[in-house]
Amino acid sequence: MKKIGFIGLGNMGAPMAANLAKAGYEVTGFDLNPVEVEGVARAASAAEAARDKDAVITMLPNGEILKSVYAQIVPAARPGAVLIDCSTVDVDSARAAHQMAQEAGLLSVDAPVSGGVGGAAAGTLTFMAGGSEQAFAAARPLFDVMGAKAVHCGPAGAGQAAKICNNMILGISMLAVCEAFALADKLGLDRQKMFDVVSTSSGSCWSINTYCPAPGVGPKSPADNDYKPGFAAELMLKDLKLSQQAAEAADAATPMGRRATELYEQFVAEGGAGKDFSAVLLKLAQSGRDG
Ligand code: NAD
């Protein structure tokens, strides 16, 4: 596999495409914005980027855009090519994209990522993939360049399902940690002491141990950089909404996921947009019992 088309050269896509080019692949990119990415040739359209490639990667904002881009690239791709969608989208759109690819004789994988912009630049992303064994095997060498780990989660849509479940846990656990810091403040407990205890006790989790929302406490995190993302609150809200859409469709009970979605909706509407998702601590620390 040598030739790759890459569509969606945003915050995540650009460094991922650059890493593939650095590893010796011939990468042709397309984005609606005129972006330059080192080592990546530019195509005039998504179809042109996909034409005659061994693999076509997409890294796009949402499921509607994904489906519209697949409508352009599926007819252009050569039979046997593998389509790898790394965007975070709803499970139904992911499955619809698989279906379009399959009907045209193409291999396809949904392969959303964890690890953020830093992981994309460093080539240390985790890929969670859905699709056939054959498609996963075809995509694997590219996952190895762009990431540190790739898990084949199951059939079409399973990668998105894993991503949505993981990020629902993350949203809920960040709110739990922020609530605990806000309560600790009101109880007169020093934040550093709270970290020292919880990070090695049964309340420990990634949200406090690795990504502590309290500035000056724990390892360096967006809280120490004025809550610059990181992982923006509106992206967390997007993923929480996807979890609720999936829960609704599957009739799954997610009461904490639902409440977390409401709280992030409120936070984003009240000035949280553009801030890291851990900045919800600022809001909770300023609030009283009834808001
Ligand atoms: P981004 O907005 O920076 O990039 C998306 C790019 O897609 C933009 O450059 C946009 O111009 C382009 N685009 C939109 N419509 C297009 C079209 N029709 N044809 C071609 N290009 C088009 O977003 P991002 O941060 O790079 O995120 C991309 C995806 O990865 C999202 O689904 C996001 O949820 C997911 N994700 C992001 C992060 C993160 O930390 N940023 C982490 C994990 C997953």
> Is 151 touching ligand 1 by the criterion CB < 6 Å?
no
C-alpha distances in Å from residue 211, one per residue of 16, 61, 162, 167, 288: 23, 24, 21, 14, 25
> Is 168 touching ligand 1 by the criterion CB < 6 Å?
no
Place of tokens 């829960």: 247
Cα 260 to ligand 1 centroid, rounded to whole Å: 23
> Is 59 touching ligand 1 by the criterion CB < 6 Å?
yes
Q: Are 189 and 291 in contact (CB under 8 A)?
A: no
- Concatenated DSSP letters of 275-286: SBGGGHHHHHHH
DSSP H helices, 147-218, are: 158-186, 191-198, 206-209
Residue closest to 223 by CA, chosen among 261, 167, 279, 147: 279
* 232 CA: nearest ligand 1 atom: 40
**Residue located nearest, by CA, to atom 14 of ligand 1:** 60
Cα 181 to ligand 1 centroid, rounded to whole Å: 32
The pair of structure tokens assigned to 288 is 């009283």
CATH of domain 3-154: 3.40.50.720
Predicted local distance difference test score (pLDDT) of residue 230 = 86
| Ligand 1 pocket: which of 9, 12, 68 to mutate (most atoms within 8 A of CB) | 12
Cα 120 to ligand 1 centroid, rounded to whole Å: 12
What string of pLDDT tens digits covers the 291 residues of the chain?
Answer: 799 999 999 989 999 999 999 999 999 999 999 999 999 999 999 999 999 999 999 999 999 999 999 999 999 999 999 999 999 999 999 999 999 999 999 999 999 999 888 899 999 999 999 999 999 999 999 999 999 999 999 999 999 999 999 999 999 999 999 999 999 999 999 999 999 999 999 999 999 999 999 999 999 999 999 999 888 999 999 999 999 999 999 999 999 999 999 999 999 999 999 999 999 999 999 999 888
| Ligand 1 pocket: which of 19, 31, 211 to mutate (most atoms within 8 A of CB) | 31
* 114 CA: nearest ligand 1 atom: 43
The pair of structure tokens assigned to 127 is 């890929």
d(CA 91, CA 25) in angstroms, rounded, equals 30
Q: Known catalytic residues?
A: 163
Can you give the pTM of this predicted structure?
0.93
Cα 2 to ligand 1 centroid, rounded to whole Å: 24
Number of H helices, E strands in the chain: 12, 9
Q: Are 208 and 218 in contact (CB under 8 A)?
A: yes
d(CA 192, CA 159) in angstroms, rounded, equals 37
* 116 CA: nearest ligand 1 atom: 40
Pairing assessment for the beta strands 3-7 and 113-114 based on DSSP bridges? unpaired
d(CA 191, CA 201) in angstroms, rounded, equals 15
Of how many residues is the chain composed?
A: 291
Domain boundaries of the chain, sorted by first residue: 3-154, 161-286
**Arch. (CATH architecture) of 161-286:** Orthogonal Bundle (1.10)
Predicted local distance difference test score (pLDDT) of residue 44 = 97
> Is 148 touching ligand 1 by the criterion CB < 6 Å?
no
Q: Are 130 and 94 in contact (CB under 8 A)?
A: yes
| Range list of β-strands (E), 87-246 | 107-110, 113-114, 125-131, 147-154
> Is 128 touching ligand 1 by the criterion CB < 6 Å?
no
C-alpha distances in Å from residue 48, one per residue of 28, 52, 254: 9, 9, 42
Residue closest to 237 by CA, chosen among 288, 183, 211, 274: 274
> Is 50 touching ligand 1 by the criterion CB < 6 Å?
no
Question: Left, alpha or beta for 123 (phi > 0: left; psi -120 to 50: alpha)?
Answer: left
Predicted local distance difference test score (pLDDT) of residue 291 = 80
d(CA 124, CA 226) in angstroms, rounded, equals 25
> Is 85 touching ligand 1 by the criterion CB < 6 Å?
no
**Residue located nearest, by CA, to atom 20 of ligand 1:** 31
Residues paired with 154 in a beta bridge: 130
